Amino acid sequence: MSSFAPTSSETGAGSKDYTRFNSADAEFFQGISRIEYKPDSKPDETMCYKHYSASQVVKGRTMEEWLRFSVCFWHTFRGTGADPFGFPTLIRPWDDGSNTIENAKRRLRAAFEFFTKLGVKYWAFHDRDVAPEGATLEESNKNLDVIVDLAQELQTKTGVKLLWATCNLFAHPRYMNGAASNPSAHIFAYAAAQVKKGLEIAKKLGAVNFVFWGGREGYHTLLNTKVLSELTHLANFFKMAVAYKKKIGFTGQLLIEPKPKEPTKHQYDYDAMTVIGFLKHFGLDKDFKINVEPNHTTLAGHSYEHDVVMSSAFGMLGSIDSNTGSPDLGWDTDQFPMDIKNCTLVMKTVLEQGGIAPGGLNFDCKVRRESTDLRDMFISHIGAMDSFARGLKAAAKILEEGVLEKYVKARYSSYESGIGKKIDEGTATFEELEEFIKKNGNPVAESGQQEHYESVLNYYV
Ligand code: XLS
Ligand code: NI
Ligand code: NI
DSSP string, 302-352: --TTHHHHHHHHTT-EEEEE--B--TTS-S---B----HHHHHHHHHHHHH
Phi first, then psi, for residue 73 (nearest 5°) are: -75, -35
**Does residue 73 form part of some domain?**
yes
Q: At 122, which helix (H) or strand (E)?
A: strand 122-126
What is the 334 CA–ligand 3 centroid distance (Å)?
6
What's the predicted TM-score (pTM) here?
0.96
Q: Based on the residue annotation, tell me whether 381 is a catalytic residue of this protein.
A: no
Q: Indicate whether 296 and 261 sit together in one domain.
A: yes
pLDDT band for 13, please (50, 70, 90 cuts): low
Q: Which residues pair with 57 in a beta bridge?
A: 62
Band of residue 63 on the pLDDT scale cut at 50, 70, 90: very high
Residue type, 415: Y
75 lines ligand 1 (CB under 6 A): no
What's the half-sphere exposure (Cβ side, CA atoms, 13 Å) at 248?
18
Kindly state whether residue 23 falls inside one of the protein's structural domains: no
Looking at residue 330, its pLDDT comes to 81
Q: Is residue 329 part of a domain?
A: yes
| pLDDT value of residue 3 | 44
**Which residues have CB under 8 Å from 79's CB, separation 6+?**
90, 366, 367
> Is 186 a domain residue?
yes
Last residue of a domain, one of 368, 384, 403: 403
In the predicted structure, residue 5 carries a pLDDT above the cut 60: no
% of the chain residues with pLDDT over 70:
97
- For residue 306, tell me if it sits in a domain: yes
Domain with 419, as residue range(s), is 413-460
- CATH code: domain of residue 359: 3.20.20.150
List, as ranges, residues with CB under 5 A of the ion ligand 3.
293, 332
Residue 49 pairs with which residues in a beta bridge? Answer: 37
Q: Which residues are paired to 71 by β-bridges?
A: 123, 363
Total domains, the chain:
2
Domain identity same for 59 and 194: yes
**Cβ–Cβ under 8 Å, residues 79 and 365:** no
Q: What percent of the chain has pLDDT over 90?
A: 95
* Confidence check: pLDDT of 218 > 80: yes
Q: What is the pLDDT of residues 18-57, one digit of tens each?
A: 999 999 999 999 999 999 999 999 999 999 999 999 999 9
* Residue of 331, 364, 366 best suited for mutating to test ligand 1, as the one with most atoms within 8 Å of CB: 364
C-alpha–C-alpha distance, residues 210 and 246, integer Å = 13
User: Quick one: average pLDDT of 392-403?
Assistant: 98
| pLDDT value at 9 more than 60 | no
Domain final position from 381, 403, 425? 403
Residue 18 lies inside a defined structural domain of this protein: no
